[in-house]
Structures are given as structure tokens and as C-alpha cells.
């Protein structure tokens, strides 16, 4: 009888903890831009943390006061530093948030199981060369004078902050997004720390390939143009590439598909 009971016993394996996604915004945005993605993923059982980088979202810092990329990126550094030793996260970055991902891969390779770049700057060592600037920095000069510039160090010095003027935002950032998202962005966007971002240069540490990377290409992007995204992927190939029919802001224009791609990336990486 005891033998029969042993045969009927099913060994239960511990349930794998759902992935923890950490979402990093791009220039002038904040954690608020991920509200749709956060909602969709949390109701599906995932853990989601949205970071406000310095001078972004509800962070009280002024963009004109930041002079280094590490200052700008400090909230993400603090968050990753605070994670328990064995905990890993999926790091997701949009646009200039890709620079934060690459820097974090170098600093915390053991705490990141996957890095997902969404229409993001994906350069192995940041903004080091003219080619890096060409591939990884939006060139909006064809549209005229699109930026409001701040000169925190005085008018005789290079600008310290930049914000796309209201009249260009719909055309460049949100041309496929619902009008209410444009209204939200108009209320929430803040100047980006231009000077700090230009100092985003990473040294080679030999850890750049330890974390698998996925790129999500935005097919109708007028900011980080598809050819720029292709150039960065060619120079530093990711393990997977997905495409989404969207403008520069797929969390607004195509959130359901973007959410599905994030989960698909996590499954492919063995994190689900």
C-alpha cells in the first residue's frame, strides 16, 4: 500500500517567479509614459517598475543642473544597486533610454537577464565617435528649429537642455498616437539634460556581451529613423529583432502589440 502511495505522489516543482520588467523612458519623458504598458503587464501577472531619471517625471532636479550622464542615470543605478544579490530584471529602454541600458549592462551584468531596446540608442560604448552620433542621435534638422534650448552655464557655452517645441511634437513624436496621449505629453514633458546625455561614453569592460539583447524596431519612426535603427543593429547585433507598426512612441500608438513583444522577448530569453 505504501508503495502504491509513493507511485501516486507527484513531485511539485516550485513555481517560477514572474519576470520583473524595469522600464526606462527617453528624452523629456518620464515613468508616466509607460502607464498603458504597466497596466497591461501587471494585470497579466508581471512585476513592473518604471524609473524617473534625474530631471524627469516627478524628479525635482533641473535638467540645466546636470553635467554628467551618471548624474542623469543615478536613479536607475540606485535601483539596480538595491536589488537582492540573486534577483534579476528585464531592463527595457526607449529612445535615449538605450544609453541607460548599455551603461547598466556594464555595471550590473549579473542583475540583468535581458535588455530590450525600443527605438533606442544601442551603441556598445555610447556616444564616442561621429559615427555614433550619426547612428544614435536623432537628426531633426530637416524640420527646422525644433528645439527650445536651455543655457544653464550661460549663453556663451553650449546648451545644457533641450525640449521639442509644442508645434512639432505631434508631427515628430506622436503622429500615429491618439490625440489624448498628445495632450498628456503636453502636460508632462520636461526639458532633457542635453549636456549630460552627450557625456554618455562607456569604457570597454568585457561585460557588454554577457546580457542578451533584443531590439524592437519602430517602423514609422520620424525621430529615431528606421535606417538609424538598422545601422546600430548591424554594428552591434542583438539576439532578436522584432518590428512594431508605430511612430516613435509605441507605448502610446500600439501598446497591445508592444506589450506582447515584451512578453515574447522574455519567453525567448527563458525568463518566463
Residues serving a catalytic function are: 95, 221, 248
Cα–Cα distances in angstroms (integers) from residue 19 to residues 185, 186, 216, 253, in the given order: 29, 32, 19, 24
Q: In 10 A of CB 241, how many CB atoms? A: 15
Count Cα neighbours of 93 within 13 Å in the Cβ-side half-sphere. 27
Q: Greatest CA separation found in the chain?
A: 90
d(CA 166, CA 80): 34
Which three three-digit cell numbers place residue 120? 533606442
DSSP letter (8 states) at residue 215:
E
Cα–Cα distances in angstroms (integers) from residue 200 to residues 122, 132, 173, 176, 249, in the given order: 12, 11, 23, 30, 22
d(CA 190, CA 260): 29
Amino acid at each position: 500500500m505504501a508503495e502504491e502511495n509513493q507511485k501516486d505522489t507527484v513531485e511539485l516543482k516550485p513555481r517560477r517567479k514572474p519576470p520583473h520588467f524595469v522600464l526606462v523612458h527617453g528624452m523629456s519623458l518620464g515613468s508616466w509614459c509607460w502607464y498603458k504598458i504597466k497596466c497591461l503587464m501587471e494585470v497579466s501577472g508581471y512585476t513592473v517598475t518604471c524609473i524617473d531619471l534625474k530631471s524627469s517625471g516627478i524628479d525635482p532636479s533641473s535638467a540645466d543642473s546636470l553635467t554628467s550622464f551618471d548624474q542623469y542615470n543615478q536613479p536607475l543605478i540606485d535601483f539596480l544597486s538595491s536589488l537582492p544579490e540573486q534577483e534579476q530584471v528585464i531592463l527595457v529602454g526607449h529612445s535615449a533610454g538605450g544609453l541607460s541600458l548599455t551603461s547598466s549592462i556594464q555595471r550590473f551584468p549579473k542583475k540583468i537577464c535581458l535588455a530590450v531596446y525600443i527605438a533606442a540608442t544601442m551603441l556598445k560604448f555610447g556616444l564616442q565617435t561621429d559615427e555614433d552620433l550619426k547612428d544614435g542621435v536623432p537628426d531633426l534638422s530637416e524640420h527646422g528649429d525644433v528645439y527650445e534650448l536651455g543655457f544653464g552655464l550661460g549663453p556663451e557655452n553650449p546648451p545644457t537642455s533641450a525640449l521639442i517645441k509644442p508645434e512639432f511634437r505631434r508631427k515628430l513624436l506622436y503622429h500615429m498616437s491618439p490625440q489624448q496621449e498628445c495632450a498628456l505629453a503636453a502636460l508632462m514633458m520636461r526639458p532633457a539634460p542635453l549636456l549630460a546625455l552627450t557625456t554618455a561614453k562607456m569604457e570597454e569592460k568585457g561585460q557588454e556581451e554577457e546580457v542578451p539583447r533584443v531590439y524592437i524596431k519602430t517602423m514609422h519612426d520620424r525621430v529615431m529613423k528606421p535606417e538609424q535603427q538598422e545601422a546600430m543593429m548591424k554594428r552591434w547585433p542583438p539576439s532578436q529583432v522584432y518590428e512594431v507598426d508605430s511612430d516613435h512612441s509605441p507605448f502610446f500608438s500600439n501598446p497591445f502589440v508592444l506589450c506582447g513583444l515584451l512578453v515574447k522577448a522574455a519567453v525567448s530569453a527563458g525568463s518566463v
